[in-house]
Amino acid sequence: MSELSSALRILAALDPVEEAVARARAACTDLRWHNALRKRMSECRAEATVRAARSSAALEGARFPIAFVREVIAGAREVPDDLSGTQLSAAIRVAAVAQELSEKPDALRGGLAHVMSKLSLAAGAGLVPDEQLGRPRLAGEEPGDLGGLPQAPGPAEVADRIGQLDELLADPTLPGLVVAAILQGEVIALRPFVVGNGLIARALFRIQLVSAGVDPTGVGVPEAAFLSDVQGYGQAGAAYTSGADVPGWIVSCATAVEKGAGEGRTVCQAVQAGKLPKTA
């Protein structure tokens, strides 16, 4: 067992973390057995992807009504020709990649760098030159997003810590939700790419939650929970980045999963009642 795996087990065993993870798992289990998922799983997952993309875009400052985002994804509307539109397009692309990858069991195991590269291409298109996409920052390049955090580490430390994340993902006995929280926190802390780090961090969180079986339905929307408390989300991320409160970050992520399962139930109820437009 690696030193990092041992440290993560200690974090997972802390009472506040263990209790928050248990609540999140119970909420996801309850969601899993919703009647709408028996015959209309694909519709529910599609709507969850809409809401995930909309929430993640809004966290980057690109706020659009859910109906507008739904129409854009359906091809019925075009995004504005401005920065907010570009950010929304990026969030939609990232959400689509996350949905595709999350359907594979243990999607991140043994291939984290490849997945991150794919997400970078989706997150940064139209925002920076193509040669800066799909690869971590080089020496002298600084991240252009997630401002207000301590200075991002250099390329060597980024590569080392991503390698350590691969070690965590290689251990199937570690709690999936805690690993997902660490994945998201590390990308926020490292900001390994020139742009799109926030979108990528949340996408990895979603992929791990679904592919590791925490929320096997993929209908939970923790991104909506993060959006509902932007200040708290930012503060928890900053505390993780500085090392001041790693357990608190994990608890905040678990709470978002719990609340996101509630959003998932709302999705299921809307699908079951036929309240979503056919473009969804």
The encoded tokens of residue 259 equal: 């609340």
Query: Burial, 228: exposed, middle or buried (Cβ in 10 Å; 0-12, 13-18, 19+)?
Result: middle
- Whether the CB-CB separation of 121 and 196 falls below 8 Å is answered with no
Task: List domains and CATH numbers for the chain.
Answer: 3-272 (1.10.3290.10)
Q: To which residue do tokens 């969030």 refer? A: 91
CB 218 within 8 A of CB 112: no
pLDDT tens digit sequence for 202-256: 999 999 999 999 999 999 999 999 999 999 999 999 999 999 999 999 999 999 9
Length of the chain: 280
> pLDDT of 142-160, one tens digit each?
998 888 888 899 999 999 9
| Cβ pair 262, 26 in contact under 8 A | no
Tens digits of per-residue pLDDT, 111-135? 999 999 999 999 998 889 999 999 9
Distance CA 108, CA 82 (A): 33
Per-residue tokens: 162: 């991503």
**7-62 pLDDT, tens per residue?**
999 999 999 999 999 999 999 999 999 999 998 999 999 999 999 999 999 999 99
120 vs 195: CA distance, rounded Å = 8
Interatomic CA distance for residues 9 and 2, integer angstroms: 11
Q: Which two tokens stand for residue 9?
A: 């087990």
Q: What is the pLDDT of residue 101?
A: 93
